[in-house]
Structure 1
Amino acid sequence: MKCKYLWQKYNKSLLDNSIFKILLLSISLIFSISIKADVILHAFNWNYSQVTEQADEISSIGYKKVLVSPAYKSTGDQWWARYQPQDLRLIDNPLGNTNDFRIMVQTLKNKGIEVYADIVFNHMANESYKRADLNYPGDAILSQYSSNLSYYNSLKLFGDLSNNYINESDFNPAGCITDWGNAGHVQYWRLCGGNGDTGLPDLDPNNKIVEQQKSYLKALKQIGVSGFRVDAAKHMSNYHINSVFTDEITKNMHIFGEIITSSGAGDDSYDNFLAPYLSQTNHSAYDFPLFASLRNALSFGGSMNLLVDPIAYGQALPKNRSITFSITHDIPTNTGFRYQILDPVDEMLANAYILGRDGGVPMIYSDHNESNDGNRWLDLYKRDDIKAMIKFHNEVKDHDMQIIAFNDCMILFKRNHAGIVGINKCGSGQDVWVDTANHNLYWYRNYKNVLNPTEVQYVTSQWHKFYLPPRQAKMWLMQ
């Protein structure tokens, strides 16, 4: 969910029904899309030209996909303005235009990197402060188009830029969401701020709107986009989502929804929103259940046991439907979600887990300090530890994961014989003796820690001790 408004607190509780969970998993396996677990760089609020300029660096680090901010007509310098669409028929916003977008996609494609587009189909821009009607893009923008029609037509993705393409009849009735546990209320009413704000106009998924949105997606596919992030999917009915994302559009595409939940099984936000989304679509989703498991495991008094097999307990999404992360842009930029920000060391440990484990598609977030957190995530994508973790991930991604040892403080797991990950969240070191024969670790080979290449484990016997220092992660890669 995107915008400058103060977000409401999400409710907790989920129907913890074993049969339901088994059915959901079965459905997800039937409809799953085979997606390589390549790391996604979320280039949040980056200019398209900046992504183009950094293509060589992005490729050299090992990213295979880049998610960029919404590409359509929008105005305003604030990050949240990108999530208030005025016109889908062309790309023209402070991040760049259609030509910039095309160049970026082609440049990344030449480097073997796919582009994913962030899309907003739930609502249009809140422009009640400047006009009362719900005609989009509005007379002022149409006048702008007409003043230089050849230029704007050169940016056109579809449609006729001489007319408004959305009007009053294309919106649900006005009204602000007040019952955040009621799916119908959340999906058919508006995201509003305070002080009498009328909210983001909520689109009615009528035939005209659906066809326009499909035309937009087809145009982005034609340019070369390989995936779509569905923003505010929690606020769209699954009828709307499935009407737009037809077989023609989803073919060879990776699609995932943003549905923020407080936890997994046993949580109302999961039961009412994320579980139906997974069961009624073939899309992936942000793995907020796994993120909650990470927060709980790494918290004071929490246990790393929670990370041994969270999927089995409904506390992580199926591996083939999961987008994993340690931070998303909504968490630091919206007051209601900032409680989910991890301690910096815990975030590093969480990154080691999601980039060390198998399953899911890891996403690394990198911004321009939009949240005013002291540049904490500025250039995160190329921080030394992230680069090392991506190297480990790419080297072992075809190897299965097996747990070796765990307790409240630590977890040690391997990727067959190719790599070993150890994470110790506690303030004291942990000695872990491993039966290397039983766990198929190769003897007389160096296992080098990618996070500190001077640290090498040389296995020469059946029992080998792995030492995990306090508050550190180790990612040993077989040489």
Structure 2
Amino acid sequence: MKTRLFRRASALISAIVLLVSGVSISPAVAGVSSVPNKVIDESTVGIQMFMYSWNSIKDECTNHLGPNGIDWVQISPPQEHIRGEQWWVHYQPVSYKIESRLGTRAEFAAMTQACNEAGVMIIADAVINHMANSSGVGWDGTEFSKYDYPGLFGESDFHATIDPSEDRYCDENISAYDDLWETTSCMLGGLPDLATEKPAVRAKIAAYLNDLISLGVAGFRVDAAKHFGAADLKAVVDLLDPINGRQPIIMSEVIGGNGQNEPFTEFGYAWAWDMPNILVSGLNQGSLAFAKSDFWTVGFNASNKTITMVSNHDTEHHGPSSLAYWETQKYQLAHVFMLAAKFGIPQIYSGYSFSDESLGPNTDPNTQKVVQAKCASSTKPVSITREGLYNCIQRWRSTSGMIAWRDVAGSAPETKVGYTKHADGAKILKFNRGANTFIAMNSTQRARKMGILTNLPAGTYCDLLTGGRGAVVSSTKCLGTKVVVDSRGKAVVTIPAMLGIALTTSHKLP
């Protein structure tokens, strides 16, 4: 009872702060379902669904994410933003209204309810380090200018416009990204940097996040957390309403090495920013040799605090500096490896196709809202030539199959890690995780038929990479490839190019 009363009081205080700030809010939608009572750890899998509309995510949660075993979805920023066709306009807030190109407040609430009911937690992308670097009228009609966001923030709330005698005063852009004071006090690319050390600023940020909590989100991906600062962010987190008796989930974007993101793991999680480069290097050389030892994880934070990734919206749209959807087979195999590895908390990535790295997704010509997502394929990666289609990795058989494989593997470590050599010299990476799973990955451009030791009990298995989560169709039929393992644990099988086979004792024919 005390917890419920505390949460009601906190929600009321948050609403009052937002109202005093001039931000109109609606009551939390009646019937919003409870957030799934899950803890983010290595047994869970998440997805970033970049620039999907709220209506699209609602449908995906019900029809694909929940059924395929995905535990959380990171959505794009929900607050009002500047106008424009680029994706990055969503990262320039003008108010904390839940109104954007991606949908209305009511559509947002409907999405969280559907996802929560499907067992999928919502992680909202929180852009709280800065405000918009321009003047004009926002998406929902809010008039603003740089350093003046009526009813929310004014000149006394930014490092560039506070009294120059104050310790955090800075009216220049960041130049030394390894300097803590500079990265947390100066401007990131001209974006007005909020004075997050000030209690009044923290209270308004917390009120916005608590508003999202009241609508059913489970936690936040904190954009530019490195520039917010760990101490300031922890102070804001301490103001947030608990969810299922715990602190909301906090995932901090901290680009840099272990020393820079480690402080944020004391109250949340951080991404393994080196992992995309490791995967690019390995697969571009036609090898997964780095996976034979734990060396590839050196320098990362603790496994249960590290979110692993193949790509995200920044790495895909800036360069790119990671594998991307147009490298179809490599992109798929990289995700297979990430889901197979014990280390870390995997987050897969689904975005849209584009010809200009700044261009946003397709929008309705009349309303300018992002349209319902259309998938390039529902079962496997394909070459996408039509702009604005989504890769929909959440629907691929290899994705749902590997999540099922990971569920069976549980907390078991990799064992018997090594290569099986084909007659032509090609090396196939293989390993078990415990006594109930086996995987082999072919990172070459040719399929290989070969004998391979699986260390599994004799029987007929349904491959999860070609069959997906529903690989076992009946007592005699597999959706994908059938693999027969003999009494010695050996199988003769054709391993597809740039893919592999993934077997578990839970997906074995009777």
TM-score band w.r.t. shorter chain: 0.7 to 0.9
Tell me the CA shift for residue 163 of structure 1.
5.3
The residue aligned with 2:302 is 318
Query: Which residue number in structure 1 is paired with residue 360 of structure 2?
Result: none
Out of 63, 73, 88, the position equivalent to 1:80 is 88
Report what 2:231 is aligned to: 239
One-letter amino acid of the structure 2 residue matched with residue 442 of structure 1: P
Partner in structure 2 of residue 254 of structure 1: 249
Work out the CA distance in 2 between the residues paired with 1:359 and 1:49.
Answer: 33
Deviations 1:63-98 (A, max 9, x none): 23222111122232422111111112x211111222
Aligned to 2:442: 424
Structure 1 counterpart SS, 2:181: helix
SS of the counterpart of 1:277?
A: helix
Q: Is the 8 A contact 2:290 2:296 kept in 1?
A: no
Letter of the 2:212 counterpart: L
| Cα distance, 1:413–1:169 mapped onto 2, change above 3 Å | same
TM-score by length of 2: 0.70
In structure 1, distance between residues paired with 2:335 and 2:159: 41
What is the deviation of 1:326?
1.4
Give 2:504's aligned residue: 477
Contact 1:74–1:85 under 8 Å retained in 2? yes
Question: What secondary structure does 1:219 align onto?
Answer: helix
Deviation at 1:183, TM superposition (A): 3.3
AA matched with 1:86: V
Q: Identify which of 161, 175, 178 aligns with 2:175.
A: 178
Q: Which residue of 184, 189, 194 maps to 1:187?
A: 184
Q: Distance in 2 between matches of 1:461 and 1:247?
A: 59
CA distance in 2, matches of 1:397, 1:75: 45
CA offset digits 1:443-479 (Å, max 9, x no partner): 3x33321123443333332352565454322212322
Alpha carbons of structure 1 residues 397 and 70: separation in structure 2 relative to 1, 3 Å: farther
Give matches, 1:308-347, under 5 Å: 308-310=293-295, 313-314=298-299, 316-335=300-319, 338-341=320-323, 343-347=327-331
CA contact (8 A) 2:483 2:491 kept: no
Task: Give the 3 Å change call, closer, same or farther, for CA 111–427 of structure 1 in structure 2.
Answer: closer
Partner of 1:23: none
Q: 1:348 to 1:73 in 2, by over 3 A?
A: same
Question: What's the counterpart of residue 282 of structure 1?
Answer: 267
Q: 8 Å contact 1:84–1:124 — kept in the other structure?
A: yes
**Alpha-carbon distance in 2 for matches of 1:282, 1:238:** 9
- The residue number in structure 2 matching 1:388 is 401
- Find the aligned partners of 1:446 and 1:96 in 2 and give their Cα distance: 48
**Corresponding residue for residue 483 of structure 2:** 457
Pick from 203, 215, 232 the counterpart of residue 194 of structure 2: 203
1:356 maps onto 2:364 in alignment:
no
Structure 1 residues 254 and 371: CA distance shift in structure 2, 3 A: farther
Q: Aligned runs of 1:128-143 on 2, under 5 Å? A: 128=135, 130=136, 141=142
Letter in 1 for 2:500: A
Q: Structure 1's 302 and 460: CA in aligned 2 closer, same or farther, altered over 3 A? A: closer
Q: Deviations over 1:299-332 (max 9, x none)?
A: 3176523453246632x44221122221101112
Give the conservation status (yes or no) of the 8 Å contact 1:303–1:409.
Answer: no
Structure 2 residue matching 1:255: 3-state secondary structure? strand
CA distance in structure 2 between the aligned counterparts of 1:183 and 1:302, rounded to whole angstroms: 38
CA 312–359 in structure 1, closer or farther in 2 if over 3 Å, else same: closer
Deviation at 1:426, TM superposition (A): 3.2
**Structure 2 gap segments, 5+ residues each:** 1-38, 161-170, 357-383, 420-425, 468-479
* SS at 1:242 equivalent: helix
Task: Tell me if the contact between 1:177 and 1:185 (Cα under 8 Å) persists in the aligned partners.
Answer: yes
Give 1:403 shift: 2.7
Secondary structure of 2:142's aligned partner: helix
Equivalent-residue separation in structure 2 for 1:139 and 1:51 (angstroms): 21
AA of the residue aligned to 1:84: Q
Amino acid at match of 2:272: D
Q: Which residue matches 1:20? A: none
- CA 435–345 in structure 1, closer or farther in 2 if over 3 Å, else same: closer
Task: Classify the secondary structure of the residue corresponding to 2:307.
Answer: strand
Answer whether contact 1:171 1:202 (CA < 8 A) is retained.
yes
- How far did 1:44 drift? 1.1
Deviations 1:156-188 (A, max 9, x none): xxxxxx952211111112211222333332222
Equivalent in the alignment of 1:273: 260
CA 1:371 to 1:361, structure 2 compared with 1: closer, same or farther past 3 Å?
farther
- Contact between 1:182 and 1:272, CA under 8 Å: does it hold in 2? no
Stretches of structure 1 that go unaligned for 5 or more consecutive residues are 1-32, 132-136, 144-161, 193-198, 261-268
Q: Is contact 1:304–1:410 with CA below 8 Å preserved after alignment?
A: no
Q: Contact 1:293 / 1:310 at 8 angstroms: preserved in 2?
A: no
Measured after TM superposition, the shift of residue 211 of structure 1 is 0.9
Q: Which residue of 1 aligns with 2:212?
A: 220
Identity %: 23
| Aligned match for 1:54, one of 53, 60, 64 | 60
Q: How many angstroms apart in 2 are the aligned matches of 1:432 and 1:182?
A: 55
Whether the aligned pair in 1 keeps the contact of 2:278 and 2:296 (CA below 8 Å) is no
**CA 1:286/1:371 → structure 2, altered by over 3 Å: closer, same or farther?**
farther
Change (3 A) 1:319 1:413: same
| Preserved CA contact (<8 Å) 2:49 2:76 | yes
The separation in 1 between residues aligned to 2:59 and 2:287, in whole angstroms, is 43
SS of aligned partner of 1:42: strand
CA distance in 2, matches of 1:421, 1:435: 8
SS in 1 for 2:321: helix
Query: Whose relative contact order is higher, 1 or 2, with alpha carbons under 8 Å and at least 6 apart?
Result: 1
Find the counterpart in structure 2 of residue 157 from structure 1: none
Q: Name the SS for the 1:340 alignment partner.
A: coil
Whether contact under 8 Å (1:70, 1:82) holds in the other structure is: yes
Provide the secondary structure at the position in 2 that maps to 1:323: strand
CA contact under 8 A between 1:308 and 1:403: conserved in structure 2? no
